[in-house]
Structure 1
């Protein structure tokens, strides 16, 4: 069987630090977010046109922009939500982005991570945004409800807080069900059930958690991917939770450096790509076991983890690749950012043969 190939289709060097990039839904355009040397933030819109990346629009903001998502917006408005170094959550109309559509001082310190749910026709329930911050708190926002979070998971007063590096929505398969998973700098991982406002599961992965992602957020919880420092990522099967052992999982070494992110292919949730501090990309496929659920010695059901297999890898940068976004419109098309200040458009071929 021919292996898939990871191809750098086009690239463009920029003059600022890149932190994130997202496809604008249902278009051949994408938005790049980052930081100028003077500490200002930058938003730029590029379009793929005739084999080149064409800058269509740009604006500078008063704070560096760390992360962004369209996942709480509808397809008509396509508002971009961003988190910045000053702890502000803002949403922007890309047709008129001088003044934010919504703005709130969400956190005391930098917003490290952001995710959305129930936008773009994906997931049930109200459109919401979750933010995770260096101040240790995780907050859920409904931008239709002014400046107060609809849920907040914060350290107790006087308790030492951990830096929250990553957040993700999942389990949004009905109007009432929804979870948020958060990863922290000390390796803590926590799964919050927003329906009961309780911690459903927690663990420690021994190394700081750089990125987490459910394989799909709009179905009953299936798999969770967590990427960490010290060259490891972890996959958990979330369908069966044992009362003592929790969820079945596996860990895999990759990249020989920090695993900065893991992103599932929208068209096939069992295929995902990881990006490393060495400037490398690894493409993986998850295979389920013959039985996902088994019983322990006491007859209690517990999960049974499958396996991951490396399909392809390539080194495309001398610096860490810190973000990647798959296109939901064209299978195998993605954009990624790197600390070498370069935006790259990638094509992964032959995915339909996996």
Structure 2
């Protein structure tokens, strides 16, 4: 049977550095966030209609934009952004003159952001931000009383770890929710928002560039972390051993840094990694026949890992691909950004055979 292929459907060169791109929910439009040569920030909305990629609107703001998410306001299609000045803002894309909500969230650049609530997880609409200042904060944009939860680096550290990745998960009812946090020193921490405590931590020996649960709105199932030195780590999050933690596997991917990971919304066993050599790799996870077993040494329950299958690889750019986002309505339709100042709409074919 023919293997899936990744095709560039449309591409557009930009006059600014693009850092992130996200599909606007329930539409054929996406938004690109970035930095103009003069250091100002840009939000640009593109539409994909009739086989053409066209810019619909563009605004410029004082501070460059690093990251964005629709996760906390999916139904209303409100975009949350993190910028180089450490400011978190919530935007209505139809009225971009000023944000609906804004807060000075961090003392330094916001590197990473994620949202949860509504259709992407039960419970309150919340946004998590991670920054170069070493802090992780969780925000409820309905409140003006500051973060609802924080993980702050100890003051006595000579160099505070730089938080590069955050992700919500385990939001399967109105009380449960977790946040995974990844740092430049390889630390991986899992915060339990119900108990407001550190649930688990590990170190992956390389800076963690991105994190993603396969879905936010179910009991924790799988978590993927990508790293600086061309490896990703896949954790089975259903069973936690008291000493060993979560079962996991390490997979060598493309050369260079793995900047991003993104699961396909239609099939959570398929995911893509964005590579430092300018490639997109598609992977499939195969579950084991039994997901847990009893550890013969201590009698405790531990997880059992399955296997990862490499589905396909495609070179898209001579520069690193650093963000990827999948359209929730069309299987295999994605948008990627790279350091060559180009945004590309891609289509991965023949993925329905894995359903």
Length-normalised TM-score, structure 1: 0.98
Q: Give the Cα–Cα distance (whole angstroms) in 2 for the partners of residues 302 and 285 of structure 1.
A: 23
What are the equivalent positions in structure 2 for 1:39-54 lying under 5 Å apart? 39-54=39-54
Q: Deviations over 1:200-240 (max 9, x none)?
A: 11000000000000000100000000000111000000000
For the pair 1:326 / 2:329, whether they are aligned, the reply is no
For the pair 1:6 / 2:6, whether they are aligned, the reply is yes
What are the equivalent positions in structure 2 for 1:188-199 lying under 5 Å apart? 188-199=187-198
1:352 aligns to what SS in structure 2?
Answer: helix
1:107 Cα deviation from its structure 2 partner: 0.1
Match of 1:235 in 2: 234
Match of 2:33 in 1: 33
What are the equivalent positions in structure 2 for 1:67-82 lying under 5 Å apart? 67-75=67-75, 77-82=76-81
Q: Deviations over 1:61-116 (max 9, x none)?
A: 100000000110141x3110000000000011111111110010000000000000
Q: Give the Cα–Cα distance (whole angstroms) in 2 for the partners of residues 49 and 293 of structure 1.
A: 47
For structure 1, the 5+ residue unaligned runs are none
Q: Give the Cα–Cα distance (whole angstroms) in 1 for the partners of residues 33 and 44 of structure 2.
A: 7
Match of 1:17 in 2: 17
1:262 Cα deviation from its structure 2 partner: 1.0
Match of 2:141 in 1: 143
Match of 2:244 in 1: 245
2:329 aligns to what SS in structure 1?
Answer: coil
What are the equivalent positions in structure 2 for 1:1-354 lying under 5 Å apart? 1-75=1-75, 77-119=76-118, 121-160=119-158, 161-297=160-296, 298-354=298-354
Contact 1:139–1:153 at 8 Å: present in 2 too?
A: yes
For structure 2, the 5+ residue unaligned runs are none
Q: Give the Cα–Cα distance (whole angstroms) in 2 for the partners of residues 27 and 296 of structure 1.
A: 48
Contact 1:104–1:147 at 8 Å: present in 2 too?
A: no
Contact 2:25–2:74 at 8 Å: present in 1 too?
A: no
Contact 1:266–1:326 at 8 Å: present in 2 too?
A: yes
1:307 Cα deviation from its structure 2 partner: 0.7
1:147 Cα deviation from its structure 2 partner: 4.9
Q: Give the Cα–Cα distance (whole angstroms) in 2 for the partners of residues 218 and 51 of structure 1.
A: 33
Q: Give the Cα–Cα distance (whole angstroms) in 1 for the partners of residues 32 and 16 of structure 2.
A: 11
Length-normalised TM-score, structure 2: 0.98
1:73 aligns to what SS in structure 2?
Answer: coil
Q: Give the Cα–Cα distance (whole angstroms) in 2 for the partners of residues 289 and 74 of structure 1.
A: 34
Contact 1:24–1:70 at 8 Å: present in 2 too?
A: yes
Contact 2:269–2:285 at 8 Å: present in 1 too?
A: yes
2:268 aligns to what SS in structure 1?
Answer: strand
- Count of equivalent residues: 352
Q: Give the Cα–Cα distance (whole angstroms) in 1 for the partners of residues 268 and 46 of structure 2.
A: 27
Q: Give the Cα–Cα distance (whole angstroms) in 1 for the partners of residues 335 and 59 of structure 2.
A: 20
Contact 1:88–1:107 at 8 Å: present in 2 too?
A: yes
Contact 1:47–1:53 at 8 Å: present in 2 too?
A: yes
